[in-house]
Amino acid sequence: MIDGLRRPVLTILMLALLSACATSPSSRFYTLTPLPEAAGRGADIRGGDLAIGIGPVVFPQFLDRPQLVVRDGSNRLELEEFNRWGGTLQDDFLRVWGENLGYLLNTSRILILPSEARLPLDFRITAEVVSFEGRRGDEATLKVRWAVMDQRLEQSLVAREDLYRCPVASAPRQNQSPSGPAAGMMAAADASEAMVAAMSRCLGRFSQDVAEALRQLPKPRPPEPDFF
């Protein structure tokens, strides 16, 4: 008799579990975007006066994860389990940074380091990202220490630490928006997309500052040939 009572209860529990799994939200994937004017312009750039190596870029361990990281308070971080990077944040940062610099400096000779390619470089840019995250409905921040190196002399020509703050735009309201849990999920997705867009703007401003610093540096002279 007891076994007969257990079966319906177990069946109900299994159905409830399957129903919960069926309604679990699907993951959304995000990427950083280049400067609006740089998007899609890579194919228009051929050659260039400068050959630039970028990297390595060091990220803090708390950002080395697939989920978007949101700062919630001064000392608290929150992981958005269903909002994730399409690849890794570090690779995405390098990809967009390289695309921005290629456009700003009008060169296709951008090498992401480390690389197996052998290209004589005029400058190498290294960076340490101290923080790169956002607050929902507030702002995204990028704090980065970076240096421009003379590739031939292995000496630092520029060394800086910069902080960028970019407001997170409010998501536009839809005329016919869903209600209930679906509305909450859509609002969270819109907030995350706005935050990633603000992070992209911070990376764009950083790219512009790096490009301006490179423009002010004299191009290194080629090494003198050795005669014996």
Per-residue pLDDT of the chain (228 residues; tens, 9 = 90+): 445 545 554 555 555 555 444 455 688 999 999 999 887 655 555 667 889 999 999 999 999 999 999 988 778 888 888 899 999 999 999 999 999 999 999 998 999 988 777 788 999 999 999 999 998 788 999 999 999 998 776 788 999 999 999 999 875 554 545 554 444 445 567 888 999 999 999 999 999 999 999 999 998 776 555 544
Give the angle 97-55-95 at the CA atoms, nearest 5°.
30
Model confidence over 51-80: pLDDT tens digits? 999 999 999 999 999 999 998 877 888 888
What is the pTM for the complete model shown?
Answer: 0.80
Q: How far apart are CA 143 and CA 128, in angstroms?
A: 9
Q: How far apart are CA 122 and CA 134, in angstroms?
A: 34
Q: Which helix (H) or strand (E) holds 121?
A: none
Q: How far apart are CA 103 and CA 188, in angstroms?
A: 33
